[in-house]
Amino acid sequence: MKDLLDRYLAAVGRELPDRQRVDITAELRDELLTKIELREEAAGRPLERSEVEAVLLEFGHPLIIAGRYRKVQHLVGPEVFPVWWAGLKLSLCIVAAVYLVVAILHLTFAVGGPFADDQFPSLVTALLTTFGAVTLVAVVVERLNLQRFVYRWRPRQLPPAGVKPTSPFEREVEIGMEVVFILWWLEIIRFRNLFPLGDLVAELDRTVFDPWFWPVLAYSGYGLLTNVVGLMRPGAAQLNATLTLVRSVIVVGMSLGLLQAGHWVNVTSTLIPSHLLPTVQENFDLGVKVSLVVTAVSMAIKAVFDARRLWRARQDAQTPLSTRAA
């Protein structure tokens, strides 16, 4: 199947130097196609998906193949270095995502919130600790000859070619934000008032949002699940595309449903003159309305693209590799 070969070469290419990527992946493609064609000639038929996987498994893990083209190997041996480098990048992304979420919480949490300064080490300390921990694991893997466990993989687990996958950093930040939103929606945490006028308070109209309490909570949990699955299984292209498509459709439906209310925020203030307060109220409601419309339109467009991408992925998965080679 052509998508397996494309995924494999894309996975190798992501680890190659920019100046050599095109030439090396073209060379590897020719070599792999030759191996597959020889297998097809011997079998007298196009190879099945599992047989193509067997060829790629025999050829080697993408990190190992890409590692052979690196001029410099540091800290650990050449076989473990690629997985050390990939693990280090992922770990640093996780640390950066955690500290970004914490920084946002420090700006928005009410005084006395659960994220105090003394509960987290400095960013430099966290980065150095992460670097040391990942390096130590790589050294242990090499010394105990555990590479066979680290490099267990299947070609179908690789991200699809031609589509830039969502980075782990983006997914980790979204997971953090989803957790914060769920805690806020459940009223476990509160946010400080950020308006220029200290006594200006804008609160959700409970008569409007109370009926949406469980749908919004369920959607937030579903969004959290979508990002966790995408982070743990980036190669499950059809599963991730389906989850994302459903998420987009849900957002469109919820946005259109909330638009029916016409009023969403209650604004109160003792400093703003009473005759101006209705205008302020209308401006807040207008802002919410515009946001809901933009969200519904953008997510509808995204759903169309997600559906198209999912359809193409299924078509590619069903196309024989010999057709692609021709």
Helix axes 123-143, 81-108, angle to 10 degrees: 160
Distance CA 130, CA 140 (A): 15
Distance CA 229, CA 215 (A): 21
Find where tokens 């009410």 sit.
110
Tokens of 180: 């914060």
Contacts of 172 (CB under 8 A, 6+ apart): 93, 94, 97, 98, 231
* Length of the chain counted residue by residue: 326
Taking only the tens place, the pLDDT of each residue in 93-138 is 777 777 777 676 666 554 444 444 445 567 777 788 888 888 888 8
Q: Is 318 exposed, middle or buried (0-12, 13-18, 19+ CB in 10 A)?
A: exposed
pLDDT at residue 219, rounded to an integer: 92
For residue 325, what pLDDT band results from cuts at 50, 70 and 90?
very low
Find where tokens 């919004």 sit.
216
Find where tokens 């070969």 sit.
5
Distance CA 56, CA 235 (A): 15
Name the 3-class secondary structure at 152: coil
Taking only the tens place, the pLDDT of each residue in 27-54 is 998 899 898 888 888 888 888 888 888 8
DSSP class of 102: H
Going from the C-alpha of 126 to that of each of 94, 111, 216, 305, the distances in angstroms are 11, 25, 34, 39
For residue 152, what pLDDT band results from cuts at 50, 70 and 90?
low
For residue 297, what pLDDT band results from cuts at 50, 70 and 90?
very high
Least confident of 107-116, 174-183, 214-223: 107-116
pLDDT (average), residues 295-311: 87
Contacts of 72 (CB under 8 A, 6+ apart): none
Give me the half-sphere count of Cα atoms (radius 13 Å) on the Cβ side of residue 18.
0
The amino acid present at 71, given as its one-letter code, is K
Least confident of 25-29, 37-41, 159-163, 310-314: 159-163
Distance CA 266, CA 209 (A): 12
DSSP class of 211: G
Tokens of 222: 């579903």
- The residue among 38, 73, 36, 97 whose CA lies nearest residue 324 is 36
Contacts of 235 (CB under 8 A, 6+ apart): 7, 156, 157, 158, 159, 160
160 with 6: CB under 8 angstroms?
A: yes
User: In this prediction, what percent of the chain has a pLDDT beyond 70?
Assistant: 77
pLDDT (average), residues 84-92: 79
- The residue among 59, 56, 58, 40 whose CA lies nearest residue 4 is 56
